[in-house]
Structure 1
């Protein structure tokens, strides 16, 4: 009896449709964007076409206007959308909006869904997530931003936030703050929906990073902001999920974000490898095609091997998600592996392009500076490795083998 790796026919059709969409519409449209006006017009055009073809919010249930895809089909779609920085945006599937949409779907009140979820689903608003703080870093239970109840109708927030992605493009912010410092560590925090702009939520600056940025980076939601929260009054009806639920909801949304990053990393790595293969089949040095040199073939083989492993990781995680199984160990393993994989593949593509790859004449150099963040966002490598390592020890103590924490029972 064989393990069945067959993808359902409907999922194959959706993947092919999205692949054609990205190749024929999104990638060509990249070159048409020159400024804010052209970005807005191009995106509006793409979104209109996408919705007309039924390509909208792949991970959202049909009753909310989405495609209603399960974890497997959505993974296949995301592994196509990541080929272009316009892919996810064209289908309103971009981060950090996507994870917040899932949070609102699961935990939002009827009022919150009507007032905030609906415009997010329609692509009329963008939302950012303000959790990270300088003092806390990767420790989400170390946040110091406070939310104090004001009567029964409001909360007043004070504190600071760091690396709030897409804040400069957002119409809403989802802010995590401490509501009960005396509660158990994971029950001290709550989440609030904040309408922007708001004088109590001040963007102090867009943080400059090592990533190559252009004038459109922050307009498209690719920037990261430092936020000052001062006497920010939030209506009690904007409390999301109830008091003390902030940490749990945050971990849930981050779990999806890690998977989405991984899916897009696979797509980007595939595009980089395609570019490398195209270049070496045309470029000759010292009278011989680069493609005919064994050293070049070995470099391509290593990239192909890593992409193969990465795809299997994500498909297995999608399988576990479909079955409602615990996937936290695999998610952490994959998060770290895929971040390094995309870095290696893009780096190899640059090397094979030579000085052309190092230049800005191809997108490789810009990709290289952006993907370094993958080893930091949604939990740095070290935190995930720490978690994975503890689970390895735990598995051995409980079962006398580490297999359960190392893919020993894949299905």
Structure 2
């Protein structure tokens, strides 16, 4: 499973991480500041310093470069623990959009781009965002609808387009902009201070503790970039998107399993204390059924995620399996969080407990990185066209 640690050493790392999250990260969560981007970011920065001091954080970065060098399989356990807190992924440098951007740039960036963008991003000195989604009639779940254009100029490229729901845009030092060129869909690096990039607004959503300040709306108005802004090869952007999205989906699954597990732990504790009709909630069969279903869902979600992670470590294509895992896990964690809220009743929907915020945090995952309906369609088309056996 690991090329850097024995099973005993890895178990000790996970134990250390769990203690850090439970004792140092979760206590810092302030539900009153859940939508205060500055306060959230300040908390994360302080926690990141503590994490680094304890030898935690940056799970995918090589050990030689100061990271933990974890395999995808090992990340399943690591990110589940990190994901138990709203602040954990940011503090431990495994949050989107930075982590999937790092994974993509690590495969695609040239030497100059690595030095200017990737290495500072990996060190936590810079922040990134991935600018693909557009207002209608632009691209959403269908990449063929991409409207943003990049045209060659005498000394580089000129990009024009309108992007929104760009995670991390409010904080990003640079954007990976997806645009259409003569050769097809392509990727470009655009600095935040480029005069052709306009940050229009932060779009409020239901999510608390949004990393990077939330989701921004961006306009690219005759945005000029140099020839060296092109990432990889022109026209290969859709293939590159798969590189980024497959890992991103898996990281979301890992983190959100942790958050859903925490929600059910809170509900189980409450059910063991609260009485109704003369007995504890935990003795009511309807409550027992919700707890049982939650454990079944999380068990299955962990196994699916672990299987996809092992395939990724083995260098296998995970396109089909990651779609199935993403659909199942995104819906399973929502069921678990919803049951946790239901068990706790009025207290569950209040902000005296974090349950309602956990539910709000998990709900968008059924849309992000491909809506469940889009994935189901793609899964069925592959199965029917290739004669795949279920």
| CA deviation after TM superposition for structure 1 residue 85, in Å | 1.5
Q: Is the 8 A contact 1:15 1:73 kept in 2?
A: no
Which range moved further: 38-47 or 76-85?
38-47
Q: 2 CA distance for matches of 1:329 and 1:10?
A: 33
2:10 alignment partner in structure 1: 11
2:227 aligned partner: 236
Shift of 1:326: 2.0
Q: Under a length normalisation based on structure 1, what TM-score does the superposition of the two structures give?
A: 0.88
Which residue of the partner structure matches residue 243 of structure 2?
252
Q: Is the 8 A contact 1:33 1:39 kept in 2?
A: no
The residue correspondences of 1:82-101 to structure 2 (distance < 5 A) are: 82-101=83-102
Cα distance, 1:268 vs. partner? Answer: 0.9
Q: Is contact 2:132–2:139 with CA below 8 Å preserved after alignment?
A: no
Shift of 1:31: 3.2
Where 1:190 maps in the other structure, the secondary structure is strand
Instruction: Work out which of the residue numbers 177, 180, 189 in structure 2 matches 1:178.
Output: 180
Q: Per-residue displacement from partner, 1:282-308 (whole Å, max 9, x unpaired)?
A: 101122111111111111001110011
Deviates more, 1:367-376 or 1:90-99: 367-376
User: After the TM superposition, which residues 142-221 of structure 1 pair with which residues of structure 2 at under 5 Å, given as runs?
Assistant: 142-151=145-154, 153-180=155-182, 183=183, 188-209=184-205, 211=206, 213=208, 217=209, 220-221=211-212
Contact 2:37 2:212 in 1 (8 A): no
Structure 1 runs (4+) deviating above 6 angstroms are: none
Query: What does 1:20-169 align with in structure 2 at a 5 Å threshold?
Result: 20-31=19-30, 34=33, 39-134=40-135, 135-151=138-154, 153-169=155-171
Structure 1 residues 206 and 38, CA gap change in structure 2 (3 angstroms): closer
Structure 1 residues 97 and 212, CA, compared in 2 at 3 Å: closer, same or farther? closer
Name the SS for the 1:205 alignment partner: strand
Structure with bigger RCO (C-alpha 8 Å, 6+ apart):
2
Contact 2:260 2:358 in 1 (8 A): no
Distance in 2, Cα, partners of 1:309 & 1:257: 19
SS in 1 for 2:315: coil
Q: 1:176 to 1:258 in 2, by over 3 A?
A: same
Report how far residue 117 of structure 1 moved: 1.5
Work out the CA distance in 1 between the residues paired with 2:337 and 2:58. Answer: 28
The DSSP-based 3-state class of the residue aligned with 1:168 is: coil
Distance 1:383 1:9 in 2: 41
What value does the CA root-mean-square deviation take over the aligned residues?
1.9
Q: Within 2, Cα distance between the matches of 1:33 and 1:162?
A: 27
Partners of 1:33 and 1:42 within 8 A in 2: no
Q: Which runs of 5+ in 2 are unaligned?
A: 1-5
Change (3 A) 1:146 1:40: closer
Say which of 344, 347, 356 aligns to 1:365. Answer: 356
What TM-score, normalized by structure 2, do the two folds share?
Answer: 0.92
Instruction: Give the structure 2 partner of residue 409 of structure 1.
Output: none
Deviations along 1:210-265, one digit per CA (max 9) or x if unpaired, are: x055xxx56x4252122111010111112111212222111210111111111112
Measure, in 2, the Cα distance between the counterparts of 1:277 and 1:98: 32
SS in 1 for 2:58: coil
Q: CA deviation at 1:56?
A: 2.4
Q: C-alpha distance in 2, partners of 1:322/1:154?
A: 37
Q: Aligned partners of 1:115, 1:204: CA distance in 2, in Å?
A: 26
Q: Secondary structure at the match of 1:260?
A: helix
The question of whether the paired residues in 1 share the 8 Å contact of 2:38 and 2:213 is answered with no
Matched, 1:264 2:255: yes
